[in-house]
Structure formats: C-alpha cells, structure tokens
A and B are shown apart, each in its own frame.
Chain A
Amino acid sequence: MDELWIVCLGLGMIWQGLLITWVSGLPLAIRAPDTPKPQAGTPEAFGFFWIEQYRFIGLILALAGFVLAMTGWLI
C-alpha cells in the first residue's frame, strides 16, 4: 500500500511539472544557453531569474516525479 502512495506522489509531481514546462518552456540554460542575459541588478534580470527558476522547478518536478513513480512501481 505504501508503494501506491509513492506512485501517486510521483504522478502528481509529473503532472504539475509537465504543466509548468508547458507554461514556461524548458530552462534557457538547457534550451538556449547563448541567450543574452539582462544586466545584473536590473528588474529585467530579476524577471529573467524568476522565470528561469520556474522553468527549472517544472523540469525537476517532472524528473523527480518520474523517479518516484518508477521507484514505487518497481518496489
């Protein structure tokens, strides 16, 4: 029964992780590392950081969810 909850936790993370990726795309650091970055300390730089952070959260949620779901399924 405990394994079921691990699978559920993983699938829930995958769902939200994929939705974040749909909303914001993959991190630019992976997709387009040569993208020019705004000057540090400016509001644009903060916005850039914030969205990039959001993209990483989505990617990590999806990947970690996949690992958890597979772990729960294989246990």
Chain B
Amino acid sequence: MNEVNLIHEIQVTAIYAGVHGLLAVLLANFVLYARLRGSKVPDWQPEAAFRVQANFIENVPIALLLLLVLELQGVQTILLHACGGTLFVLRVLHAVGLGTYQGANYPRLIGAQGTFVLISVMAVSCIATAF
C-alpha cells in the first residue's frame, strides 16, 4: 500500500523523468547520426552533437533530482510542472541552438543559462523547504 502511495506522490517527477529519458535517447542517437553521416553534415556538427548530449547528461539528472525532492517535500503541483516543463523547453532550445547552428546563438545561450538559473532556483527552493 505504501508503494502505491509513493507512486502517486511522485507523479509529476515521473512524467518529466520519462520525457527527459526519451530526449536523452534522441540526443544519443543524434551523436550517431552526425558521425554516421560524416560526409553529409558540416565538419563542426559531430562535435556539437557530442557536446549537446554531454551537457544534457551533466545538467538534467541533477535538475530531475531537485524536482523529485521538491515533489516529496510537498511543493504545489503547478510549480513542479512549471519547473519540469521549463527544463524540457530549455534543453530543447540548447540542443537546437548548439546542434544545428555553428557558433554563438540565442537558443543555445537561453537553453544553457536558463538551465543553470532553473537549477539554482530549484536548489534554493529545496533548501528552503527543509526549514
């Protein structure tokens, strides 16, 4: 019975963990795509695809962990959806910006810096809910 209750308590995190899991697989395949189509993609794209996936792996697990903690701490559902949804949009922006355009561009900037801000806000919120 406790197990069933726990599943309901982390419903929001379950949604965003699942969505980001699918995005992680997509980005991993994008690395293969850029490598296998070496002659058909720009020289810079394989390295960029690799960096998109690496940055995703560096940032998303900690963001999802923070989301899980916030949900277990009883934060409002609407705020949890705002965090999870924003994280997804920011990671897509970063992937599009870094993976499809060479050099500095706004999707990449907003995606990367937005993720850092979001993680910072969620981290501070986690600490705040402890008191």
Report whether A22 and B33 are in contact in the complex, using a CB–CB cutoff of 8 Å. Answer: yes
Q: Does B36 contact A (CB under 8 A)?
A: yes
Q: Among the interface residues B22, B29, B33, B36, which one has the most CB atoms of the partner chain A within 10 A?
A: B29
Interface size class of B (residues with CB under 8 A): under 10
State how many angstroms separate the Cβ of A21 from the closest Cβ of chain B: 10
Report whether B36 and A20 are in contact in the complex, using a CB–CB cutoff of 8 Å. Answer: no
Is chain B's binding surface mostly helix, strand, loop or mixed? helix
User: B residues 21-75 with Cβ under 8 Å of A?
Assistant: 22, 25-26, 29, 32-33, 36
Q: Among the interface residues A16, A19, A22, which one has the most CB atoms of the partner chain B within 10 A?
A: A19
List of A residues within 8 angstroms of B32 by Cβ? 23-24
Report whether B25 and A15 are in contact in the complex, using a CB–CB cutoff of 8 Å. Answer: yes
Inter-chain CA distance A16–B22, complex, in Å, is 9
Report whether B33 and A16 are in contact in the complex, using a CB–CB cutoff of 8 Å. Answer: no
Tell me how many residues of A have a C-beta within 8 Å of chain B: 8
State how many angstroms separate the Cβ of B37 from the closest Cβ of chain A: 8
Inter-chain CA distance A22–B22, complex, in Å, is 15
List of A residues within 8 angstroms of B26 by Cβ? 19
Report whether A23 and B22 are in contact in the complex, using a CB–CB cutoff of 8 Å. Answer: no
Report whether A15 and B22 are in contact in the complex, using a CB–CB cutoff of 8 Å. Answer: yes
User: A residues 1-39 with Cβ under 8 Å of B?
Assistant: 15-16, 19-20, 22-24
* Chain B residues in the interface with A (C-beta under 8 A): 22, 25-26, 29, 32-33, 36
Query: Could you list 14 further interchain pairs (A-B, Cβ under 8 angstroms) beyond the known A16-B29, A22-B33, A51-B36?
Result: A15-B22, A15-B25, A16-B25, A19-B25, A19-B26, A19-B29, A20-B29, A22-B29, A23-B29, A23-B32, A23-B33, A23-B36, A24-B32, A24-B36
